[in-house]
Structure 1
Amino acid sequence: MTRQPYPPARRDDVVDDLHGTPVPDPYRWLEDPDDPATKEWLSAQETLFTAGTAALPGRERFRARVAELLKSGSVGAPVWRGERRMFMRRTPEQEHAVLYTVDPGGAERALLDPMALDPTGLTTLDAWQPDKEGRLLAYQVSVGGDEESSLYLMDIATGVRIEGPIDRCRYSPVAWLPGGEAFYYVRRLPATEVPEGEEQFHRRVYLHRVGTSTEDDVMIFGDGMEKTNYYGVSVSRDGRWLQISASRGTAPRNDLWIADLEAASPEAPELIVVQEGVDAQTALNFGRDGLLYVFTDRDAPRARVCVTDPATPQAEHWRDLIPQDPEAVLSDFAILDDLDRPVMLVGWTRHAISEISVHDLRTGERVGAVPTPGLGTIGGITERPEGGYEAWFGYTDNTTPPTIQRYDARTGETTLWAASPGAVEVPDVTTEQVVYRSADGAEVHMLVISPPGAEGPRPTILYGYGGFGISMTPGYSASILAWVEAGGAYAIAQLRGGGEQGEEWHRAGMLAHKQNVFDDLHAAAEHLIAAGVTTADRLAISGGSNGGLLVGAALTQRPDLYAAVVCSAPLLDMVRYELFGLGATWNVEYGTAGDPEEFAWLWSYSPYHHVKEGVSYPATLFTVFQSDTRVHPLHAWKMCAALQHAQGADRPILLRNEAEAGHGARAVSKTIELAADQLAFLAHHTGLLR
């Protein structure tokens, strides 16, 4: 075996002492993107990547096929305001989805087109919220993938921007008061008012009155609270009730308050505690019937719906309406009340497959089920704010581009309301759900997508996430379909740390239990090999963000088990992750290196610190994004340098460092190029295409 000639990267003698443990960090200099040495190294890595991938067989084939499959476009569920409805749609040739409105007379028009705002395609529409009357629109945009949303107001009838920008509104909800004269929102404090390095934190809830300066906005909530808190805010349909929630970072728990806006001015709401200091997540829905509907996993890790009077919102007054199911996870609900017998539609996932049941609104008795198009994923269930007998929900599966379905509670029928606008030829695939056992005996589910009639071992991509209670559910994916059409198999493991089996499943893969997630992935790989789906020299793993941490840990723990790895926007230095991006908001998921016990958890698996010289590591491609403000690309930079130094086999370690792109939404053309590079790399190193 001959070593790949890699760009030189100096190894500094940097060693920290943490709780008595020496922690080496030879590539700390790569944490500074403005250091000339870092820039020189990144430039050399770009040259290496280009040379290493330009001639990969199949790249143009994958590029063309992914582009063709993405011509399906997409469509979103309608948001109703009286007779006006608004929705997102992307046609086959569009780079971004466009926000449309259908006016009361029935005329459809584009309201917000990101490409019209910025023909370069770098501007994304991050969020939007019409007022309760459908006259004004609050919307948020960011540029270059940095997710630093600025908030604007638009007159919907004319399409004219009337206010903005209001900066520092990243991840801000908007809660309108009736009449469209004011709204609550969340904004970070100015950088001049917070300690250096904490500019991404210190959020507050404000009230803004339309037509006034933001300097006059009234701070409603958040002063003196935890710096990493995220806040939710909403106002009931009738405008009477304000709801504010607070969670420390991404913690699976929240504090919750409500205020009666008829009893005090919107500038000085008298907040009443619903829950505080409780290890549970709860959200409220103020019904049109005057009752308060409670969605909670308190004493119910698979979630339940309770009901009470808004005057007594605390847990001791809750009455179970939809109790916890022993197997399915309750995901959302909607109320249809323009019926002789009002009903509640309840969304569930059962081993990540969606279903909707129908219940009597008064008793909770199950009275039926909503027909769905297949075994797939259902999006949020929505109804008209003023009530009615119909509901809308999104649907997709492995071969079905997004559709919007309409359910009529009078007839019990579901009909297609809107399909993705592009006609594409989708390949035939076979999807099988399998169950395997992890190292400790836990049962884990996995979806395996293969060409019809495929027999014998074949190149396979194993994908996982395993964190933050996020579920891996079936969905239309151009990359998956292109890979399977080319003859490979694609497996999606529902690892602990996700939400597929409820909050207990999530917690079994976080903090001290994080190793369970990696064990679940290794066991998935071993199952695929034992079942004859693939072999170790034809098995690749892929993951991004927390999933990048997953595959980074996997390649250092079991390098013998995987032939190739795509590691995208990853967390890899788990000793210093809190110091960059939004890392400090995730210590409730991973732990903090500042605590001796929690440091031990992180140190036990931190991928960057487990790279060992002379080991035969899989072929590895790191894909990162220069404008990523969630997970700094320095994680991949440092890990790439470490692996290039240590690699004991003639398998490449490459870095794809993309400018003007971030962690989240991006133009379709950028998605296509990224997918083509990733698929071609994995196809070459698993033998799908030589």
Structure 2
Amino acid sequence: MTQTHDATRRTTEDTDPHAWLEDVEGADQLTWVRERNAHAENALGGERFEAMRAEILEVLDSTEKIPAVVQRGEYLYNFWTDADHERGLWRRTTWESYRTDRPEWEVLIDVDALGAEEGVNWVWHGAHVLKPSHTRALVALSRGGSDADVTREFDLETKTWVEDGFTREESKGGMGWADETGDAVWVYTDFGNGSMTTSGYPRTVRRWQRGTPLAEAPEVFAGRSDDMVIGAGRDQTPGFERDIVFRHLAFYSSETYLLRDDALTLLEVPRSSEPDLFREWLTVELREEWTPEGGDTTYPGGALLAIPLEAFLAGERRFEVLYTPSARTSLAGATWTRHHLVLNILDDVSNRLEVVTPPTAGSETPWRRRPLDLSGGTDGTVVPALATIAVSAIDPDTSDALWLTTTGFLTPTTLSRLDLDADGATTSLEPLKSLPAYFDASGLEVEQHFVRSADGTRVPYFQVAAAETTTDRNPAPTLLYGYGGFEISRVPAYSGSVGRAWLSRGGVYVVANIRGGGEYGPRWHQAALKENRHRAYEDFAAVARDLAARGVADRAHLGAQGGSNGGLLMGNMLTGYPELFGAIVCQVPLLDMKRYSHLLAGASWMAEYGDPDDPEQWEFIRTFSPYHLIDENRDYPPILFTTSTRDDRVHPGHARKMAARLIEAGKDVTSYENIEGGHGGAATNAQAAFMQALAFEFLWQRIG
């Protein structure tokens, strides 16, 4: 099916009658928003909606959630929200206490109390603890959940804000420690006229010394106005302390510099690659094939390479190849512990872990490799089939211990501690915390299926359904979820919200692993960039057709959902494949692809979609610009748009304008705009439960 319609000419490229809705906080615009919100609440409110909202909120506010922690010094730090603390608590505990069923927490910052005291709807954005003393932290807070935030210095001993401490005013950007004494920080923020890129992020970075005015802090690096973002940070690994400046030219193009003796040294690796430094090692994850200058070896895209940093800086280009992709595998992540590097490999979207161990300094021995042993329990494994495994280092400066997280669609998430010995063998596997079962999964099963897309490409998808779904061939209400962009993989994960509001009520849940994502590495992502964007949409449509062919869902019972780039996917399902779906949920979406690069952070995504101001590129971009593909004479499935007034990443004007055009054309449109929430769409658990219940109620009404 072609994605180009005669309706393209119905909206001229120079005149947009709905452009007025791009004024985010204008009085008339917010009146329009409130009217649409009232319509949505009236249409979707009711007994089932209230029941689902309460069920979802109970999950989000549950005191039985796993308190995710990071170790900093002797403490484990956690950020926690529940019914009594909807904005959250930043707190800490000890290992001894964390191992108990009811840890004792020392509260450091009560964000609800802080917001009430200051009259600001603060949303937690994280904290950066000073090493090695762990006595101070740089805390980031956002107004209403926007990407723009502030940074303040906090004393971890007195548990108070530092008077006259380091402070960064509201802006997109960041601040991080620049030495071990805590007397200097790296700052990249809005310094005034000309200091931000066209993408809306910092263009310059400064090193700010305590006791001096920020305005006088020396500029260390400045990028170009059409770069994406500039920043800096400090590697505080004991014995390997160093400063690093990064320049992101675009989403998949960056440069990394070492700052030594006030001189910047560029790491001469491909701009499309991802270099990483750990102790004496430089690793390079390639997105594209690379033959180093002066070398005779070509390394494939998707490979992970390693070399001693000092040898590389001296001109050596003979790398150790730690991972090479295959047709069905990709590297999902690489995690350093004190003595090992743990590789997380996706094999047809299922994880397996390997431990690679570098030679000791000065040794001529090769890198060693072994599978990571996850055996345990009565059945010999702690990982269910078709589940997701993730690892992260607990404290790579001092130990070979790992956080191990396992989760599946029907398997509540479990957090364990795993310890490795000098050879990379597992010495202990200690389960620490598990989610309760938030819904009854009996009678449900998870399957993985594959379907051929329009060009013959094999596309995987996961299906969660009652065991008899594909045998009785009675179409069931089915929700098909997708994303397909920015090399982000969609893998199995436990969701109490989906379980309670959808699966427990008889719905089928499907996740499509379409091109544009990272399920098969860079090649899977690059296959759907720019002029090839249609492949992601063809993949999603192929999954929808396969569900029908297998008797899972016909059009009347099939809904689709996606947000952000997935919202663009939903817009293209609406305009390009309306005959496949009975309802569509389109969340915080991009939709006007002629204007996207001029709205908020849109310019930073041109590496993904292309430049609409270039006439040649607009010719292919217009074929996946849903706002320009609306045909008033075509039948479309009912659609729900959700967005946030405080989203300063994807402009709410996309959803507003698309809704307005479809309403004007007499289509079945529901829209709701949350005032807070940023790009996540919600700033509190209560808001998140409301927004999720809206989507599920809309789907139950239309396809249930």
Change (3 A) 1:610 1:320: same
Consecutive unaligned residues in structure 2, runs of 5 or more: 1-8, 98-103, 290-299, 360-365, 375-381
User: Hey, what does 2:335 align to over in structure 1?
Assistant: 334
- 1:564 and 1:618 in contact (8 A); partners too: yes
User: Hey, what does 1:471 align to over in structure 2?
Assistant: 489
User: Hey, what does 1:3 align to over in structure 2?
Assistant: none
- 2:138 and 2:175 in contact (8 A); partners too: no
- 1:518 and 1:554 in contact (8 A); partners too: yes
In the alignment, the residues of structure 1 paired with residue 33 and residue 70 of structure 2 have an alpha-carbon distance, to the nearest angstrom, of 45
Decide which moves more: 605-614 or 359-368: 359-368
Post-superposition offset of 1:204: 1.9
User: Hey, what does 1:10 align to over in structure 2?
Assistant: none
Change (3 A) 1:114 1:324: farther
Change (3 A) 1:39 1:331: closer
Decide which moves more: 164-173 or 325-334: 164-173
Change (3 A) 1:611 1:104: closer
- 1:92 and 1:421 in contact (8 A); partners too: no
**Correspondence 1:481 to 2:483:** no
User: Hey, what does 1:643 align to over in structure 2?
Assistant: 662
**Correspondence 1:676 to 2:693:** yes
User: Hey, what does 1:125 align to over in structure 2?
Assistant: 124
Post-superposition offset of 1:181: 2.5
User: Hey, what does 1:514 align to over in structure 2?
Assistant: 533
Change (3 A) 1:567 1:489: same
Amino acid at match of 1:243: I
**Correspondence 1:591 to 2:584:** no
Decide which moves more: 90-99 or 494-503: 90-99
User: Hey, what does 1:373 align to over in structure 2?
Assistant: 383
- 1:101 and 1:108 in contact (8 A); partners too: yes
- CA shift digits 1:219-249 (9 cap, x unpaired): 2112446443343534241353222222224
In the alignment, the residues of structure 2 paired with residue 252 and residue 506 of structure 1 have an alpha-carbon distance, to the nearest angstrom, of 11
- 1:184 and 1:233 in contact (8 A); partners too: yes
Change (3 A) 1:253 1:401: farther
The structure 2 residue matched to 1:25, chosen from 16, 39, 52, is: 16
In the alignment, the residues of structure 2 paired with residue 391 and residue 402 of structure 1 have an alpha-carbon distance, to the nearest angstrom, of 16
- 1:351 and 1:500 in contact (8 A); partners too: yes
In the alignment, the residues of structure 1 paired with residue 441 and residue 84 of structure 2 have an alpha-carbon distance, to the nearest angstrom, of 21
Amino acid at match of 2:426: G
Change (3 A) 1:176 1:658: same
- 2:273 and 2:284 in contact (8 A); partners too: no
The percentage of counterpart residues that share the same residue type is 26
**Correspondence 1:345 to 2:342:** yes
User: Hey, what does 2:426 align to over in structure 1?
Assistant: 412
TM-score, normalised to structure 2, is 0.85
- CA shift digits 1:308-341 (9 cap, x unpaired): 233524885252241213233223333444xxxx
Amino acid at match of 1:388: S
- CA shift digits 1:591-615 (9 cap, x unpaired): 1111122111111121011111132
Decide which moves more: 317-326 or 370-379: 370-379
Amino acid at match of 1:285: L
- CA shift digits 1:647-674 (9 cap, x unpaired): 46xxx31111221232126211111001
- CA shift digits 1:54-103 (9 cap, x unpaired): 24x62123222222333445446543333333233445754255332236
- 2:151 and 2:169 in contact (8 A); partners too: yes
**Correspondence 1:445 to 2:445:** no
- CA shift digits 1:483-513 (9 cap, x unpaired): 0111010111011111111111111111111
User: Hey, what does 1:7 align to over in structure 2?
Assistant: none
**Correspondence 1:573 to 2:592:** yes
Which secondary structure does the structure 1 equivalent of 2:310 belong to? Answer: coil
**Correspondence 1:86 to 2:77:** yes
Change (3 A) 1:642 1:349: same
- 2:247 and 2:254 in contact (8 A); partners too: yes
Which secondary structure does the structure 2 equivalent of 1:174 belong to? Answer: strand
Consecutive unaligned residues in structure 1, runs of 5 or more: 1-12, 17-21
- CA shift digits 1:614-638 (9 cap, x unpaired): 3221111111111111111111111
- 2:202 and 2:231 in contact (8 A); partners too: no
User: Hey, what does 1:101 align to over in structure 2?
Assistant: 92
Which secondary structure does the structure 2 equivalent of 1:468 belong to? Answer: coil
Amino acid at match of 2:152: Y
Change (3 A) 1:286 1:540: same
Change (3 A) 1:414 1:404: farther
Change (3 A) 1:100 1:33: closer
Post-superposition offset of 1:47: 3.0
Which secondary structure does the structure 1 equivalent of 2:606 belong to? Answer: helix
Post-superposition offset of 1:387: 2.4
In the alignment, the residues of structure 1 paired with residue 354 and residue 373 of structure 2 have an alpha-carbon distance, to the nearest angstrom, of 6
Amino acid at match of 2:191: L
Post-superposition offset of 1:23: 5.7
In the alignment, the residues of structure 1 paired with residue 449 and residue 19 of structure 2 have an alpha-carbon distance, to the nearest angstrom, of 43
- 2:530 and 2:620 in contact (8 A); partners too: yes
In the alignment, the residues of structure 2 paired with residue 519 and residue 104 of structure 1 have an alpha-carbon distance, to the nearest angstrom, of 49
The structure 2 residue matched to 1:459, chosen from 477, 480, 496, is: 477
Post-superposition offset of 1:451: 2.9
Change (3 A) 1:255 1:599: same
**Correspondence 1:68 to 2:65:** no
User: Hey, what does 1:282 align to over in structure 2?
Assistant: 274
**Correspondence 1:662 to 2:675:** no
- CA shift digits 1:471-491 (9 cap, x unpaired): 111112233212011101011
Post-superposition offset of 1:201: 3.1
User: Hey, what does 1:622 align to over in structure 2?
Assistant: 641
Post-superposition offset of 1:444: 0.8
- CA shift digits 1:76-134 (9 cap, x unpaired): 65433333332334457542553322369977412233223225994221122111121
Which secondary structure does the structure 1 equivalent of 2:590 belong to? Answer: coil
Matched residue count: 649
Decide which moves more: 178-187 or 294-303: 294-303
TM-score, normalised to structure 1, is 0.87
User: Hey, what does 1:4 align to over in structure 2?
Assistant: none
User: Hey, what does 1:247 align to over in structure 2?
Assistant: 248
Which secondary structure does the structure 1 equivalent of 2:86 belong to? Answer: coil
In the alignment, the residues of structure 2 paired with residue 402 and residue 175 of structure 1 have an alpha-carbon distance, to the nearest angstrom, of 33
Post-superposition offset of 1:35: 4.9
- 1:573 and 1:606 in contact (8 A); partners too: yes
What aligned pairs does 1:143-222 form with structure 2 within 5 A after superposition? 143-162=143-162, 163-172=165-174, 174-190=176-192, 192-193=193-194, 198=198, 200-222=200-222
Post-superposition offset of 1:39: 3.8
The structure 1 residue matched to 2:107, chosen from 86, 91, 110, is: 110
User: Hey, what does 1:8 align to over in structure 2?
Assistant: none
- 1:236 and 1:285 in contact (8 A); partners too: no
User: Hey, what does 1:257 align to over in structure 2?
Assistant: 257
User: Hey, what does 1:603 align to over in structure 2?
Assistant: 622
In the alignment, the residues of structure 2 paired with residue 575 and residue 113 of structure 1 have an alpha-carbon distance, to the nearest angstrom, of 43
Change (3 A) 1:209 1:35: closer
The structure 2 residue matched to 1:359, chosen from 347, 353, 356, is: 356
Change (3 A) 1:242 1:321: farther
In the alignment, the residues of structure 1 paired with residue 494 and residue 435 of structure 2 have an alpha-carbon distance, to the nearest angstrom, of 14
Post-superposition offset of 1:217: 2.4
In the alignment, the residues of structure 1 paired with residue 700 and residue 172 of structure 2 have an alpha-carbon distance, to the nearest angstrom, of 38
In the alignment, the residues of structure 1 paired with residue 25 and residue 73 of structure 2 have an alpha-carbon distance, to the nearest angstrom, of 52
Post-superposition offset of 1:401: 4.5
Which secondary structure does the structure 2 equivalent of 1:495 belong to? Answer: coil
Decide which moves more: 172-181 or 536-545: 172-181
In the alignment, the residues of structure 2 paired with residue 354 and residue 377 of structure 1 have an alpha-carbon distance, to the nearest angstrom, of 6
- 2:199 and 2:604 in contact (8 A); partners too: no
